Amino acid sequence: MSFSLTKKEKKVMSSRSVEHISCQQCGGNGYMKSAPNCYHTCLECLGRGLIPHFSK
């Protein structure tokens, strides 16, 4: 599964000074496997695969 942003999301992200890192919980996929044939949206990143990282 690939991750892509819409033009609006890219514009908003580029105007901020917030960096995004891959979610540690799901490994950047946006979903987690809970059983052999069962997948759930990652609640840490809300299915996006990225988490905002605020640098000092």
Domain range summary for the chain, segments of one domain joined by +: 8-53
pTM, entire model = 0.56
1 vs 9: which has the higher pLDDT: 9
d(CA 44, CA 36): 21
Give residue-wise pLDDT tens across range 17-46: 778 899 999 989 999 988 999 999 999 999
Reference 32, options 50, 13, 49; nearest CA is: 49
Residue 46 DSSP code: T
Q: How confident is the model at residue 53 (pLDDT cuts 50, 70, 90)?
A: confident
The confidence score (pLDDT) of residue 18 equals 78
46 vs 15: which has the higher pLDDT: 46
Task: Please count the other Cβ atoms lying within 10 Å of the Cβ belonging to residue 40.
Answer: 12
